[in-house]
Copies of this chain bind each other. A is one copy, B any other.
Amino acid sequence: MQLVLNRPLDMHVHLRQEEMLQNVTPFTAQQFAGAVCMPNTLPPVDSVERYDAYVAKIKAAAAPYEFDPYVPLFFHEGLTREELAPARERLFGVKLYPAGVTTNSEAGVAEMSKIEPVLDVLQDLDLPLLVHGETNGYSHDREREFMSVYDHFARTFPKLRITMEHITTVEAAEFLEKHDNVFATATLHHLLYTMDDMLGGPFNPFLFCKPIIKSPKDREAIQSLVIQGHPKLMFGSDSAPHTEVMKRTEGAAGCFTSPVLLPGLAQFFEDHDILDQLQSFVSDRALEIYGVNPPERSVVLERKEWTVPPRYGSVVPVNAGETMRWAVVDPEVESA
């Protein structure tokens, strides 16, 4: 049994830099025709010049796969119409990180009240705003507490497309109904797991991420959006690799899910008898919401068991050692 996905997209992934970029990009490029590649590198991708350089590096790392990297600029108060307008056609959007909430977000926004002039420019240029929506409050409440910020942005800039990235809570799921200009992405791991999978038994550092994986009720809210085929919810993995050493000794936050994404999604959609909706979740809605035009590629999944390796280079994937029911059929690998 095969499943053919046309132009699948991962609308939120961290491809990192240097050696890590080389190691992890093929997993994304193999399974997806395009991906929103996050700009929280060191230094961040916070200018058009750095944007062009990072896009080129990702494309090189993705070869021979035909793959479009959509890199949102790292939001900062210094972004100007003068810089953005001439590059508008090749830019994808802007990604806002509150300062200090996740990996390499130290350069993020400390005061939300000061950024409205930039949001005004984004709205004028029709550049979407992607947001890591967490406050600096108690970890379980960070996303819930951020809803008032989304609400303010959505009301003040009604023509600005705003995406709540990697939503994880009942409150975010409900908020999706509130404004026409607010969209969301959801990850595979927040769809499948609760905090108990990370720390209910022995601690599993490979499920430690920001936003933290939450309660059964929160998971149920995200699952419900996916199962009902919510038209404003797109797939974005938030796959965020760190080396095993960084995970184990530095407590780095991020789940490396890239190698298991389409197989894991196919499993979930099959378990809920909605395989026919997978195309919409992993591609159609993003095409419509963002108007992107990724390469005309199909990715084929086959219903065939395989075991996830214990590590890929220096990185341990989610589901390491587990058996998956769906496998990616890769013509590049077959012909190699």
Give chain A's interface residues, CB within 8 Å of chain B: 138-140, 194-196, 199-205, 208, 212, 215-216, 248-253
CB-CB < 8 A to A139: which residues of B? 195-196, 199-200
List residues of chain B with CB within 8 A of the CB of A251.
Answer: 199, 201-205
| B-chain residues with CB within 8 Å of residue A212 when the two chains form the complex | 199
Instruction: Please determine whether B200 and A138 come into contact, CB atoms closer than 8 angstroms.
Output: yes
Q: Which residue, A202, A215, A216, has most C-beta atoms of chain B within 10 A?
A: A202
Closest B residue by C-beta to A246: B202
Check B196 against A138 for contact (C-beta < 8 Å). Answer: yes
Q: Determine the chain B residues whose CB is within 8 A of the CB of A202 once the complex forms.
A: 250-253
- Tell me whether B205 and A203 are in contact (CB under 8 A): yes
From the candidates B140, B201, B208, B216, name the one contacting A203 in the complex (CB within 8 A): B208
Distance in angstroms from A216 CB to nearest chain B CB is 6
Q: Please, could you name 8 A-B residue pairs with CB atoms under 8 Å apart, sorted by A?
A: A138-B195, A139-B199, A139-B200, A202-B251, A202-B252, A203-B251, A204-B251, A205-B205
In the complex, A194 Cα to B140 Cα: how many Å?
Answer: 11
Closest chain-B Cβ to A268's Cβ sits at a distance in Å of 20
- Chain B residues, CB < 8 A from A216: 138
Residues of B within 8 A of A249 (CB): 248
- Please measure, in the bound complex, the distance between the C-alpha atom of A204 and the C-alpha atom of B139, giving whole angstroms: 14
Report Cα–Cα, A202/B208, bound state, in Å: 9
The chain B residue sitting closest to A204, CB to CB, is: B251
Taking the nearest CB of chain B, how far is it from the CB of A213, in angstroms?
10
CB distance from A137 to the nearest CB of B (A): 9
Q: Within the assembled complex, what's the spacing in Å between the Cα atoms of A248 and B251?
A: 9
B248 contacts A248, CB within 8 Å?
Answer: yes
The 5 residue pairs across chains A and B that have the minimum distance between CB atoms: A203-B251, A202-B251, A139-B200, A248-B248, A203-B208
Q: In the complex, are the beta carbons of A138 and B194 less than 8 A apart?
A: yes
A200 CB contacts on chain B under 8 angstroms: 138-139
Q: How far is the CB of A107 from chain B (nearest CB, A)?
A: 17
Q: B253 to A203, Cβ gap below 8 A? A: yes
- Chain B residue, CB-CB nearest to A202: B251
Q: Please give, as numbers and ranges, the residues of chain B lying within 8 Å of A215 by CB-CB distance.
A: 138, 140
Residue of B nearest to A136 (CB): B200
Residues in B neighbouring A199, C-beta threshold 8 A: 139, 208, 212, 251
Q: Which residue of B is nearest A249, CB measured? A: B248
Closest residue of B by beta carbon distance from A208: B203
With A and B bound together, what is the CA distance between A325 and B204 in angstroms? 34
> A239 to B212, alpha carbons, bound, how many Å?
26
Instruction: Give complex CA distance A171, B138 in Å.
Output: 20
Name the distance in Å between A114's Cβ and chain B's nearest Cβ: 24
Measured between beta carbons, the chain B residues less than 8 angstroms from A205 are: 203, 205, 251
Q: Within the assembled complex, what's the spacing in Å between the Cα atoms of A250 and B203? A: 7
Chain B residues in 8 Å Cβ range of A138: 194-196, 200, 215-216
The CA of A140 and the CA of B216, in the complex, are separated in Å by: 11
For the A-B complex with A202-B251, A203-B205, A248-B248 known, give 6 more contacts whose Cβ atoms are closer than 8 Å. Answer: A138-B215, A139-B195, A140-B215, A203-B203, A203-B252, A205-B251
A140 with B250, Cβ < 8 A, contacts A203-B205, A203-B208 known = no
